[in-house]
Chain A
């Protein structure tokens, strides 16, 4: 059982380069999200999606792009990398539940993370 799979695990970019972080889940979860985690800052939400074709911005969306063409996949695109985007990125998914009023539960399933360095 794979759960949430992120690739690559490590990536080094030069300023201005573009790249895509991949995220796939095999649990049929409708909710998927991207976080970045920096020392002393905790987890900050970048973008999220409540289903195929639906995306929305989180707390720190600038410089990042997402799309959700299928339930399983939620790629995160960096269009022109900057040193401030050096971070560890986590993809997470979740499901709706009667216990959470039919809404998406806060029980998130996280990937292993992608460590990105921008020089």
Chain B
């Protein structure tokens, strides 16, 4: 059974204080790992897809990296508008399964 564990559950940062969110996963062959951002009262919004260990993707102050067991979402010099819940999901390459499995998310608050 695919499993996704995100840590920490909640993170408070000061504006400009860089940090990382962690997504540990167990999957029978990784087809893809996905990061989403969810603002309060909204649906999740897709950020990145990572397919293989060593891959990196960047978007503004966010950089996602992938190893064989975990992914990190690095936030450089965050701003208050980066406050949101960040969700990680994995998609297995085994059998006919293609339904992504989601973690419970990390709630990020960036204080001005």
B41 touches A107 (CB 8 A): no
In the assembled complex, 24 residue pairs joining A and B whose CB atoms fall closer than 8 Å, in A order, are A41-B104, A42-B104, A43-B102, A48-B99, A58-B99, A90-B43, A99-B32, A100-B32, A101-B31, A103-B98, A104-B98, A105-B32, A106-B32, A106-B34, A106-B90, A106-B91, A107-B34, A107-B46, A107-B49, A108-B100, A109-B46, A110-B43, A110-B44, A110-B45
Closest to A104 in B: B98
Q: Does chain B have a CB within 8 A of A75?
A: no
B102 touches A42 (CB 8 A): yes
Bound-state Cα–Cα, A4 to B42, Å: 12
Number of interface residues of B (CB under 8 A): 24
Most chain B CB atoms below 10 A, which of A48, A106, A111, A112 = A106
Q: A99-B51, A101-B93 are in contact. Are A106 and B104 (CB under 8 A)?
A: no
B105 touches A90 (CB 8 A): no
Residues of chain B touching chain A, judged by Cβ–Cβ distance below 8 Å, are 31-32, 34, 36, 41-46, 49, 51, 87, 89-91, 93, 98-100, 102-105
Bound-state Cα–Cα, A48 to B101, Å: 13
Bound-state Cα–Cα, A82 to B110, Å: 37
Interface residues of A in 1-48 (CB under 8 A from B): 4, 33, 40-43, 45, 48
A45 touches B43 (CB 8 A): no
Give B90 Cβ to nearest chain A Cβ, in Å.
Answer: 8
Contacts of A33 in B (CB 8 A): 99
Bound-state Cα–Cα, A98 to B100, Å: 17
Bound-state Cα–Cα, A101 to B31, Å: 8
Q: A100-B98, A103-B98, A106-B31 are in contact. Are A90 and B44 (CB under 8 A)?
A: yes
Contacts of B34 in A (CB 8 A): 106-108
Our pick among A42, A92, A100, A112 for the contact of B105 (Cβ within 8 Å) is A42
Bound-state Cα–Cα, A1 to B45, Å: 15
Bound-state Cα–Cα, A104 to B93, Å: 11
Give B84 Cβ to nearest chain A Cβ, in Å.
Answer: 14
